[in-house]
Amino acid sequence: MSMKCSPIPGGTVTSPRGFVAGASYAGIKVKGDDPLDLGILYSEVPCAAAGVFTTNRVKAAPVLLCQERLSKGRAQAVVVNSGCANACTGNRGLADSAMVADLVARKLGMPPEEVLVASTGVIGVPLPIERIRTGIEGIALSQDGGHRLARAIMTTDTFPKEIAVRTEFGGKEITIGGIAKGAGMIYPNMATLLAFLTTDAALETDLARTALRKAVDESFNMIAVDGDTSTNDTVLLLANGLAGNQRLQAGSAEAKVFQETLGEVCSYLAKCIARDGEGATKLLEVKVEGALTLKEARLAARTIASSSLVKAALHGGDPNWGRIIAALGRSGAEIDLSKVDLYLMDLCLFRRGCPMPFDKDEASGTLSGAEVHIGVCLNLGGESAIAWGCDLSEEYVTINSAYVT
Amino acid sequence: MSMKCSPIPGGTVTSPRGFVAGASYAGIKVKGDDPLDLGILYSEVPCAAAGVFTTNRVKAAPVLLCQERLSKGRAQAVVVNSGCANACTGNRGLADSAMVADLVARKLGMPPEEVLVASTGVIGVPLPIERIRTGIEGIALSQDGGHRLARAIMTTDTFPKEIAVRTEFGGKEITIGGIAKGAGMIYPNMATLLAFLTTDAALETDLARTALRKAVDESFNMIAVDGDTSTNDTVLLLANGLAGNQRLQAGSAEAKVFQETLGEVCSYLAKCIARDGEGATKLLEVKVEGALTLKEARLAARTIASSSLVKAALHGGDPNWGRIIAALGRSGAEIDLSKVDLYLMDLCLFRRGCPMPFDKDEASGTLSGAEVHIGVCLNLGGESAIAWGCDLSEEYVTINSAYVT
């Protein structure tokens, strides 16, 4: 079965049938230009739902609430705020997240246990519940509300990240949409901060869970901005079935198409997050081939993409391949240096363990664009992986040295 | 047995009896003010010798040479250069390192297999052997040559790191000296780049090995500047026995004093390295107490000390304790958030899982000094560990985005 999948111009999380969204400014984050900090995503009908969450042992209240509610595999709405993480807020934080869900359930006339909650922002500060109550009242849901929702979840992001893609199986048109936010605290082990994925495809909760896990492993878990993992990282998938397709069965050709399409949506959003890493000026793509195992290919690609020294060298347009080899060497992946090939863009700088002569100005020139590709072939086995990151700039430090104060 | 240990004013690696050193400028690194890039450390008599090396799978030629030569547990001289790492240089690199050792052996009239070699600098460039030959000829060894040697191993270090400490056992005065270089590519798993330790104590090679390993684990392996591990990290200990003490026996009271004194020397040098991290303006000390295991205490302390977000917050004087808790949570150490206490200097910001009210200006004020102390008590067990790091400044990026070019 060949793949039929095309991006929808201006597509977003409300592009799939039956999804609406809206956002307002509740005064949770500091007011900037055109501010939004609170939003709702809603499906006209209940959805099969799955989530992937932070691996941090310190989990924010909304993460704990989602994990509990998703044990049933169903949801119909998501409420999200930026500006306050509601993390390290104890029992009060849990009660606050449940209260926010209640307010949304009341507004939409639905059971509170089918409302999921997400938060991002400063740790250790309680949610301003009264402002959120007023903010929720002010939210108008609409079919193009996904764009406002994408803006409402931004913190230090410089642009909203959204996409929708259409595909077809069994004569039914299927849409998958998504939005995400990233910027800081982005790392392989649950990398996203927040991503919300929607589809009108009909599928079982189990399939939603396995498909989401696989898509996340190949996308959000393969990006690195800094080494930090948030307390709030949350990826949610809601599938409402309004496309009218026959319910997808695991292992079917249709499920495979769904998996690939979901993977494309997630990879697009993951790359947007890497490109928009705090202070980033370049997208870094690292492809590792010829690894003995998939795990090692991923480990090697992520370690290179997250090396401070590699990232700083790229920022300066410095073809310092020794730092790439050093990162590869400490990644934990099995390597035999005498078999390693290394490419920077199309230039081979290192072949079978030996430095290759190259023109430094030419190499530096290839690093001047908005995307830098590093290719490593270990020549040991057949597994490969791609990781995305960004350069490390002075601006990253400036952003992160004055966040709270 | 109470400890008698005092630092020697102006002490260095040649303070213990029988050690001499010298350095010259061979033209390996770019000429700065008052440049030195090649040095020799020599003991009048052969030493019991031990080494700890990088865990990177890509090991530079001098590391491989040292590892082989130290299998016999003896050495009498070390030759070291900065400006060129002699890493990723294949068989030629191995031959070059052996050649450098040969040149030194000929100069000093000793067997080449008792000469150890260390290099630091740019990866992937061969050693300029002819310049090194001339440089070695020009080195004059002297009893206060340790100071020049400490300068010769510097790369982006801003000050030489050296110390000597005197203690006594069995009526014999014992001296331990050391020098180190650090700056970039500093991380817990072999953190040092280079450190050379000398003592006139008499001890068996086995004791030298175990004592060095323990001292390194508690000092150089507890510092973090960035997440990168060098291909060249090397810590060497040479013990020449000229103090005339009865040979130290493992498990004896004297061996314990030796271990503690060696630990002090290593901790001092490790802190110097952290304080002089590339672009650093502050020393960060993280103490984790109440952990279930020593491994977890170390893991937690190192993860906090190496978090880019924590480091950037400290640089800006921002008491953003949420980032400390988030780093703790992802460290892998067992924690129960409802039992965690967190201190920034003397201020308790978080007690038993709950944020404590604090004055932001006061908290920010405590971060304005040259040393910042973070204290975490997990209240789970009896193990503790201290890690050292530094803040992350714009200057780190500036330094690392223009190293080769």
Structure ipTM = 0.75
CA gap B120, B105 in Å, rounded: 21
Record: contact A321-B124, CB cut-off 8 A: yes
The pLDDT of residue B291: 97
**Closest of A69, A10, A16 to residue A44, by C-alpha:** A16
pLDDT for A234-271, tens place per residue? 999 999 999 999 999 999 999 999 999 999 999 999 99
Neighbours of B64 (CB within 10 A): 15
CA gap A240, B288 in Å, rounded: 48
CA distance B176 to chain A (A): 32
CA distance B77 to chain A (A): 28
CA distance A148 to chain B (A): 28
For chain A, percent of residues with pLDDT exceeding 70: 92
Which carries the bigger pLDDT value, residue A273 or residue B108?
A: B108
The pLDDT of residue A382: 97
Interface test with A, best of B88, B96, B123, B225 (most A CBs within 10 A): B88
Residues of B in contact with A366 (CB under 8 A): none
Record: contact B403-A226, CB cut-off 8 A: no
Report the catalytic residues of B.
192
The pLDDT of residue B405: 33
Nearest to B403 among A320, A353, A403 (CB): A320
For chain A, percent of residues with pLDDT exceeding 90: 68
What is the average per-residue pLDDT within A381-400? 80
Q: Which of A120, A192, A198, A199 is catalytic?
A: A192
The pLDDT of residue B1: 35
The pLDDT of residue A2: 42
Please report which confidence band the pLDDT of residue A188 belongs to, taking 50, 70 and 90 as the band edges. Answer: very low
**Closest of B240, B157, B158, B152 to residue B197, by C-alpha:** B240
CA distance B83 to chain A (A): 14
- What residue ranges of chain B have pLDDT lower than 70? 1-4, 34, 183-192, 225-229, 278, 394-405
End-to-end CA distance of chain A: 55
Q: Which helix (H) or strand (E) holds A94?
A: helix A90-108
The pLDDT of residue B227: 56
Record: contact A326-B87, CB cut-off 8 A: yes
Residues of A in contact with B228 (CB under 8 A): 307-309, 323, 326-327, 330
**Closest of B379, B293, B309, B302 to residue B342, by C-alpha:** B379
Record: contact A313-B401, CB cut-off 8 A: yes
Record: contact A329-B123, CB cut-off 8 A: no
> Which residue in chain A is spatially nearest to B87 when comparing CA positions?
A322
Cα→Cα distances A135→A152, B85, B87, Å: 12, 59, 59
The size of the A-B interface in CB pairs under 8 A is 220
Cβ neighbors of A193 (< 8 A, separation 6 or more) are A120, A155, A180, A181, A182, A183, A185, A186, A230, A232, A233, A234, A273
Let me know: does A310 contact A304? Beta carbons within 8 Å.
yes
The pLDDT of residue A395: 66
Cβ neighbors of B139 (< 8 A, separation 6 or more) are B22, B23, B24, B38, B39, B40, B107
CA distance A118 to chain B (A): 17
Question: Is the dihedral angle over the CA atoms B194, A308, A398, B220 positive or is it negative?
Answer: negative
**pTM for this model (two decimals):** 0.83
Record: contact A320-B404, CB cut-off 8 A: yes
Q: Which of A3-7, A33-37, A113-117, B249-253 has the highest mean pLDDT?
A: A113-117
Nearest to B364 among A313, A316, A405 (CB): A405
**Closest of A297, A292, A274 to residue A184, by C-alpha:** A274
Please report which confidence band the pLDDT of residue A20 belongs to, taking 50, 70 and 90 as the band edges. Answer: very high
CA gap B68, B216 in Å, rounded: 20
Residue A88 has pLDDT above 60, yes or no: yes
The pLDDT of residue B340: 96
The pLDDT of residue A346: 87
The pLDDT of residue A317: 80
Let me know: does B203 contact B240? Beta carbons within 8 Å.
no
Which carries the bigger pLDDT value, residue A46 or residue A58?
A: A46
Residues of A in contact with B184 (CB under 8 A): 309
CA gap A133, A110 in Å, rounded: 17
**Closest of A165, A131, A134, A159 to residue A147, by C-alpha:** A159
Interface test with B, best of A397, A399, A403 (most B CBs within 10 A): A397
Let me know: does B318 contact B391? Beta carbons within 8 Å.
no
Residue A404 has pLDDT above 70, yes or no: no
